[in-house]
Amino acid sequence: MSVFTTRVLRLTTGTSESVTDLTRECERFLHEAAGGGDGLLNIFVPHATAGIAVIETGAGSDDDLLAALHTLLPADDRWQHRHGSPGHGRDHVLPALVPPHATLPVVAGRLELGTWQSVCLVDTNKDNPERQVRLSFLG
């Protein structure tokens, strides 16, 4: 018998570009939802200007990711999508590089992440600090 459980996290990311670690929230959700079982955790952000990344945090990699995105997607006037802050069109291209979802293995109720991996929300949109992230467990 399969189990499907879902929860929506509501976050405020602020008025600057950010990488927000969601790993603890994912683990708390799995503690309740997985019941010690195996399955898959899907993380999905229903926004056109944010993504989910599995990266190292706390050692500068999160800042390096934002710097790389600035190089690849400069916040200038080259974008055809022009509403919002100057350069906001790049935020709408972000999900093509940092997808709005990730699906991760769960074993014995725990995320199977590598030693230095974290689940992160990547948000370059300074115009919309209110975000939702849907966590869904299928086991």
Q: What is the pLDDT of residues 107-118, one digit of tens each?
A: 999 999 999 999
Whichever domain contains 101, its CATH number is 2.60.120.460
Domain region containing 38: 4-138
Residue type, 38: D
Is beta strand 4-12 parallel, antiparallel or unpaired with respect to 130-138? Answer: antiparallel
Domains in the chain, number: 1
What's the whole-model pTM score? 0.94
What are the tens digits of pLDDT across the range 31-88? 999 999 999 999 999 999 999 999 999 899 999 999 999 999 998 989 898 888 888 8
Confidence at 105, pLDDT banded by 50, 70, 90: very high
What is the sign, positive or negative, of the torsion defined by CA atoms of 42, 43, 45, 50? negative
